[in-house]
Amino acid sequence: MALSRTIRMIVIQTILWILLPFFSIYKFLMFFYRYFSTEDIKGKVVLITGASSGIGEHLTYEYAKRGACLVIVARRENLLKEVAENARKLGSPDVVPICADVLKVDDCKRFVEETVDHFGRLDHVVNNAGIVSMCLIEDAADITNLQPVTDVNFWGSVYPTYFAIPHLKRSKGSILVNASSAAVLSPPGLSIYSASKAALVSFYETMRVELASEISITIATLGPVESEITKGKHMTKHGTTEFDSELVNVFIDADRLPAMSSPDCAKAIVDSVCRKERYVTVPKWCKVLFLLKILCPELIEWASYQHCLKIKSWGAKATPVPPRSQSKSD
């Protein structure tokens, strides 16, 4: 039994080594094919969630520059209207702002239906809405306070995708999901956020198989990018949303990991979607960390542990020590 198992393994490894050069040639040719066969999205209909600021706002502008018709979705109606006006000035022939919450399944169904009712079609869905929590899991005041992070990041993408699939099948359309490099690297202090993004990657890799040849899916695994998050917006351990630039610098280590500009990030993402690429990772240096994670996971884990010690040290300094009560004998 052991001998036959060994023989099978040797045969499999031999076949893989024989096929590897042909696979490398195939990947090389596909790279050039996709590079020179970019989809023209002028006049096509693009639905973008989380479009009122940050990456979502600049994805809106990038699609607008290419002449796409847009439906932009967010909760902050005043900001959404400003983004819509800017997109029109940049070249979008029609922009429809819709105030909605991706946490509400009925809202997601509504804005997909309104898109198709208005334009008669749907070509791209950009699942961008998301939030981040920053705290060590042991410091969470109540673990259930962090549930909105998983709900927004995961279900806030799954709901619109579910309702958009029939329309995207008809147009042979595309889906973009904004995941994160945290899904791969698992940095300390971002455990719930990382888990929600890892769930997104797993879900859309499965969808890529289920919807093969009908809908193209691009997964964005982004590193630090200029947005409200890098400016300090986060969900606290108490479940409230606040801005704290110092905390973000500690948890994301912004001093050593400079953020990419949102316009550059948006351009790289839309380029990848139009080339039907499976993944897009920016900043580019994140790919080096991904490779190290595969080849030397202990090194990434050691670096993460050192960063965790830094977070704990900062937390100890930031938390005031209550004064010792004096007894009557004192």
Domain 40-131+146-224+260-286 of CATH type 3.40.50.720:
yes
**Mean pLDDT computed over 87-113:** 98
Q: Using DSSP bridges, classify how beta strands 95-99 and 124-127 pair: parallel, antiparallel or unpaired.
A: unpaired
pLDDT at residue 28 is higher than 60? no
Query: pLDDT per residue over 115-151, tens digit each?
Result: 999 999 999 999 999 999 999 999 988 899 999 999 9
Contact call for residues 153 and 175 (beta carbons, < 8 A): no
Catalytic one of 193, 204, 279, 305: 193
Domain ranges of the chain: 40-131+146-224+260-286
Residue type, 137: I
35 is catalytic: no
pLDDT of residue 104: 97
**Residue 24's pLDDT band (boundaries 50, 70, 90)?**
low
- Nearest CA-CA partner of 126 in 168, 83, 65, 182: 168
- Looking at mean pLDDT, say which of 35-44, 91-100, 292-301 comes out highest: 91-100
pLDDT of residue 301: 94
pLDDT of residue 58: 98
Q: Who contacts 108 (Cβ-Cβ below 8 Å, separation ≥6)?
A: 100, 102, 159, 160, 162, 163
> How are the residues of the chain apportioned to helix, strand and coil, as percentages rounded to the nearest 5?
55, 10, 30
* Three-class DSSP category at 175: strand
Q: What is the pTM for the complete model shown?
A: 0.86
Q: What does 113-125 look like in DSSP terms, one character per residue? A: HHHHHHHS---EE
* Lowest mean pLDDT across 38-42, 63-67, 138-142: 138-142
Q: Who contacts 266 (Cβ-Cβ below 8 Å, separation ≥6)?
A: 55, 58, 59, 61, 62
CA dist 134 and 137 (Å) reads 9
